[in-house]
């Protein structure tokens, strides 16, 4: 067991939790404003693909991240229009976006790179840097700052979100719109405008989470590389009761479970001495999500108007 619980497990956890945090906090903005965002998975894929493609051409990961934010924001806006302006069923529309990104990256990469879904490999020095590469730190701190800058920024985003929600007018209005849009409207607030902002923000943040997957944690985009992370992020959001810090902790928990299973591969053995079949280890994050959701959702209180399009005249 000792060989599992090492510092590398901590770093592994941080690495695996990072995209979840970005996506989940993004989802928080949307859901606290009352719009269910099932499309985090698709938005992450949008960010991942865009980041890889743009970084490949511009040789700059920052351009990649920026483009990822824009691309995901665009599709989030599309989702917002369908859900807010056309009052579509938010879960169905979100599923549409997810299916769109099962296919769109493949078509685009086929056209750009003549591949069946992946982007070309990006050289190491063009990927997102670690914190230590960006900030000058003394040698004794090196080991602590070997995390990606994106992970560090995730922490900042959580803190910022906490502040915004409770100490700014925007946050107050966002919360009111998600709890009781009629009351917010009666107080003179533009309900739908705030909801648009919430959904687009969720795209921006989920896009960064996706970008981290392709140009931070890895060096290219592959088909469906999110592998359900967008949904796990949503589960973390529910588990975290739609609150920033608790959501982040839920993401860390899921990241830890994921990291543990990776460490276990090849280390933990069946009584017969054989390796545990890889498929069982692959299953673990998903089973954990199911169990966590079943155990804790009853105690979670969703924003009051979540999932209900605001229609004044009905």
Contacts of 143 (CB under 8 A, 6+ apart): 7
Nearer to another protein, 9 or 164 (CB): 164
Cβ 128 to another protein shortest distance, Å: 27
Cβ 304 to another protein shortest distance, Å: 7
Nearer to another protein, 19 or 216 (CB): 19
Cβ 52 to another protein shortest distance, Å: 17
**Residue 242: both structure tokens together:** 């739609």
Contact, 165 vs 171, CB < 8 A?
yes
Cβ 5 to another protein shortest distance, Å: 25
Nearer to another protein, 235 or 250 (CB): 235
Cβ 248 to another protein shortest distance, Å: 19
Residue 211, CA atoms < 13 Å, CB-side half-sphere:
37
CA distance 216 to 209: 9
Contact, 137 vs 145, CB < 8 A?
yes
Burial of 86 (0-12, 13-18, 19+ CB in 10 A): exposed
Nearer to another protein, 5 or 297 (CB): 297
Contact, 203 vs 77, CB < 8 A?
yes
Nearer to another protein, 63 or 106 (CB): 106
In degrees, rounded to 5, the angle at the alpha carbon of residue 225 between the alpha carbons of residues 221 and 231 is 140
Nearer to another protein, 70 or 172 (CB): 172
Contacts of 306 (CB under 8 A, 6+ apart): 31, 34, 35, 36, 178
Burial of 226 (0-12, 13-18, 19+ CB in 10 A): buried
Give how far the C-alpha of residue 90 lies from the chain's centroid of Cα atoms, to the nearest Å. 18
Is 269 in a helix, a strand, or coil?
A: strand
Contact, 209 vs 27, CB < 8 A?
no
Cβ 278 to another protein shortest distance, Å: 8
Cβ 206 to another protein shortest distance, Å: 16
Nearer to another protein, 1 or 186 (CB): 186
Measured CA distances, 24 to 127, 202, 246, 273, 280 (Å): 23, 8, 11, 39, 26
Cβ 137 to another protein shortest distance, Å: 30
Nearer to another protein, 136 or 301 (CB): 301
């Amino acid at each position: 067991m000792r060989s599992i619980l090492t510092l590398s497990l901590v770093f592994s956890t941080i690495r695996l939790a990072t995209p979840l945090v970005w996506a989940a906090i993004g989802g928080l903005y949307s859901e606290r404003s009352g719009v269910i965002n099932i499309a985090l998975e698709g938005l992450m894929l949008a960010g991942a693909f865009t980041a890889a493609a743009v970084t490949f051409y511009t040789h700059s990961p920052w351009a990649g991240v920026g483009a990822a934010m824009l691309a995901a924001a665009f599709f989030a806006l599309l989702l917002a229009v369908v859900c807010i302006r056309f009052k579509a069923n938010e879960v169905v529309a979100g599923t549409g976006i997810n299916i769109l990104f099962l296919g769109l990256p493949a078509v685009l990469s086929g056209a750009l790179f003549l591949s069946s879904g992946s982007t070309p490999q990006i050289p190491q020095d063009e990927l997102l840097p670690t914190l230590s590469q960006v900030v000058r730190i003394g040698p004794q701190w090196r080991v602590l700052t070997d995390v990606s800058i994106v992970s560090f920024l995730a922490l900042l985003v959580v803190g910022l979100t906490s502040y915004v929600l409770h100490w700014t007018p925007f946050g107050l209005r966002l919360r009111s719109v998600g709890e009781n849009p009629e009351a917010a409207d009666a107080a003179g607030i533009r309900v739908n405008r705030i909801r648009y902002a919430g959904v687009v923000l969720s795209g921006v943040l989920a896009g960064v989470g996706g970008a981290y997957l392709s140009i931070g944690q890895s060096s290219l985009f592959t088909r469906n590389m999110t592998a359900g992370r967008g949904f796990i992020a949503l589960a973390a959001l529910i588990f975290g009761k739609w609150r920033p810090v608790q959501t982040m902790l839920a993401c860390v928990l899921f990241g830890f479970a994921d990291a543990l299973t990776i460490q276990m591969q090849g280390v933990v053995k069946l009584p017969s001495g054989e390796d545990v079949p890889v498929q069982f280890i692959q299953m673990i994050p998903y089973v954990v999500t199911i169990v966590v959701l079943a155990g804790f959702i009853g105690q979670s209180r969703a924003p009051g108007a979540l999932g209900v399009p605001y229609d004044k005249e009905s």
